[in-house]
Chains A and B, each alone.
Chain A
Amino acid sequence: MRLTKQQRRRRDTWALNLVILPLAVVWFLPIWAMIVFATMPDSGIFSPDVTLLPSTELMANVRALEEETSFSRTFLNSLVTALVYATLSVLLTSMAGWALASYRFAGKVAVTGILLGTLTLPFFVVVIPQFILVARDFGLANTWFALIVPPLFNALGVLFMQKAFSMMPNELFDAARVEGANEWQIFIHIALPLAKPMLAALMIILFLFSWNNYLWPLLINTRESMMTAPVALGSLIGVTRVSWGSIMAGSIILTVPMLVLFILLQKYFVSGIAAGAVK
């Protein structure tokens, strides 16, 4: 028996939603569990008949966390690092992207080729020399420089901005040149404002990358006062004296601001990720 178009449509609707909706619930469960556990004492988390409903211990868990690690300080470190990092990185990558998009120059092919080549190289191949360079040779462990500058290299960001700039009409820039604007002015006053949506997308993705970065800050900071929040939180996992409730409280403090940011700026997140703006 052949189904009518409407029947097929109804069948497909049912099939699709019956699969996807429960899957979506399962997918959200870890985040929900994180939020709920952050409000519980450990006896609640490890209770055999655990319920996934919020309890009342959130503030106690947050206070315990603060006592253990000065979490607010590490949170601030992370925030400053991520903001400065994202701003600097956007500036560097868009300058480089502009150069590649707007000028024909000697070595352009080589630069583009090398950039593409590094896309496949894992961070692990440079982590040890980076550490030796920054920590031993420069003596800059436990500094803002060490946290922010070495991770600035981001080939995908350059390619992303190159694409953004090369899609802009060249006439606009030529007209400005005729009127006597220099290249820096063209870049700052014409090209960058036109690229705002792309810059926003890149900025958000870079902020997220820096906010969540774990390995490099773990290695380069030994001083408590310079520690970033993920490293501080990671150091509590598996240490018996810290309750899981507190660890979960730290987890949601790291996560919820990003979720809110994501809801508000979903468009930019999505376009940044879709273009693969960060390695």
Chain B
Amino acid sequence: MRLLLTGTALTLSALTMGGALAQTEDLSGSLTLWSWDIGAAAMASNAEAFEALHPNVDIAVQDLGNAQVHDRLLAACAAGGAGLPDLVSVQNRMAEVFWLQFPDCFTDMVELGYDDALAAEFPDYKRTELEVGDARYAMPWDTGPVVMFYRRDYYGNAGVSPDAIETWADFIEAGQRVMEVNPDVVMTQATINSDVEFFEMIGHENGCTYFSADGNTIVMNSPECAEALNVVRDMYDAGILTAADWGGKIQSAAAGIVATHMFGGWYEGSIRPNVPEEQAGNWGVYRMPAVNEGGPRAANFGGSAFVIPAASENPQLAFEFLRYALGTPEGQVRMLQEQGLVPSLLSALEHPYVQEPSPFWGDQAIWSDILATLPEIMQVRGTPNYGEANTVMTRIQLDYLNGGYDSAEDALAEAALQVSLATGLPVQ
């Protein structure tokens, strides 16, 4: 076994052998899976492939929307697991609250065959939130290296080259030029009314987190966070950033009234299928600008994992499906190809598909560009208190953008105080 750990290729062959063995075992039974949006679609195509390999297996994929999956999983766990399906996706950053509140609600996958060899196939940062001691409650699914998705034509009209955008100040200046020559187009949009994704992405890029690495201290009042919050404010004040929720952002992209969207790489799968044909070739990708000149230009946003509830009547089959869908390059690359989900399986990143240029993206090999940021990403643990921090920060940010605080430092001091009140954790 130790040998397997040393080489990815060896592990791979072991995995495919495992797959072959599983086939001969003749798996059968039915599974139900909860997930959301393109993730559900991606797992549905893997389910089809798995059903083709194992004709006696039947997998039903239900797309409930992100918030619903979270709320219903919690409610069902509180009800002792009643009504839970065999597989549920959870966001990494939200995951820890589940193990803290309802450890008995989930299957420890080690018992099903999630061994060290398979675990080593995933990066450590994806696993820290999913494992408690020796127990492995969830298997990593996708990851979210942040990039800027932009309209080549709108930038081009304004004579803006993405290569010249190195800092957020450059981005704002470019945004003003883009908006001048492209009437009715806004440079970018953020969900400032119900989330703080820009603050979190820019914050992570800049080394700002809500909690310390051990999760026991609130550190969101740091200078790095203040810088990030001010970047959001500068964009908002310059008028190059407007409010739009998840659905609104996609509608804007489809209607051609936005020049840039910033999100995790998985957003590729939300843009490409949702915009009209004539936009093909007009989109491209570039790196996040830095907060300070020469500073880091990479962050992670989003990324999820799968759990097998203890209430599942078919945990072994559920695990075999996960092993196929998440634990083989075949399964992961299928999701990348079809829905743009960025694999967290390390070996999948070496797949030839990653190097291919994409016509929709103006023949840019976007995946190699997006994945190139991975080594520079500072990893951030969600902690069980992520939900509280996110909610508080959403309100504070909106207040700050509308002039409710004199400075970012004041706003963040208030936010830290409120999170402390909610969680009982000390502020640094």
Contacts and interface: CB of A to CB of B under 8 A. Distances in A.
Do A's and B's CB atoms come within 8 Å in the complex?
yes
A141 B251 contact: no
Nearest to B67: A238
B29 to A, nearest CB: 18
Contacts of B72: 222
A141 B37 contact: no
Interface in B37-84: 37, 41, 62-65, 68, 72, 75-76, 78-80, 82-84
Interface string B252-276: 0001000000000000001000100
Interface residues of B, number: 25
B78 A136 contact: yes
Contact of B82 (A222, A236, A241): A222
B388 interface: no
B270 A135 contact: no
A65 B184 CA distance: 33
B245 interface: yes
A153 interface: no
A253 interface: no
A239 B41 CA distance: 13
Given A142-B83, A222-B72, A238 B78 contact: no
Contact of A142 (B78, B82, B246, B270): B82
Nearest to A223: B83
A228 B379 CA distance: 41
A236 B41 CA distance: 16
A71 to B, nearest CB: 14
Interface in A212-252: 219, 221-224, 226, 235-236, 238-241
Contacts of A136: 78-80
A46 interface: yes
Contact of B75 (A139, A219, A235): A219
Contact of B76 (A68, A222, A236): A222
A142 B72 CA distance: 12
A240 B64 contact: no
Contacts of A32: none
Contacts of B62: 224
B427 interface: no
Given A238-B245, A240-B37, A135 B65 contact: no
Interface string B271-286: 0001000000000000
Contacts of A236: 65
A238 B80 contact: no
A131 interface: yes
Interface bin, chain A:
20 to 34
A222 B75 contact: yes
B392 interface: no
Nearest to A135: B79
Nearest to A236: B65
B94 interface: no
B64 A221 contact: no
A235 B78 contact: no
B37 A221 contact: no
A141 B65 contact: no
Given A46-B251, A223-B83, A240 B246 contact: yes
Contacts of B246: 238, 240
B247 interface: yes
B425 interface: no
Given A135-B78, A235-B64, A239-B65, A222 B83 contact: yes
Contacts of A142: 82-83
Contact of A141 (B36, B64, B68, B83): B83
Given A235-B64, A240-B250, A241-B37, A139 B274 contact: no
- Residue of A142, A219, A240 with most partner-chain B CB within 10 A: A240
Interface string B392-423: 00000000000000000000000000000000
A132 interface: yes
Given A136-B78, A141-B76, A235-B65, A240 B83 contact: no
A68 B250 CA distance: 20
A241 B270 CA distance: 10
Contacts of A240: 37, 246-247, 250, 270, 274
B247 A139 contact: no
Interface in B73-132: 75-76, 78-80, 82-84
Contacts of A46: 251, 255
Nearest to B38: A241
Given A222-B75, A239-B37, A239-B65, A139 B82 contact: yes
A164 to B, nearest CB: 39
Closest 9 A/B residue pairs (Cβ): A135-B79, A222-B83, A141-B82, A223-B83, A239-B65, A142-B83, A141-B79, A222-B76, A222-B72
10 contacts: A131-B79, A135-B75, A136-B78, A136-B79, A142-B82, A142-B83, A235-B64, A240-B37, A240-B274, A241-B63
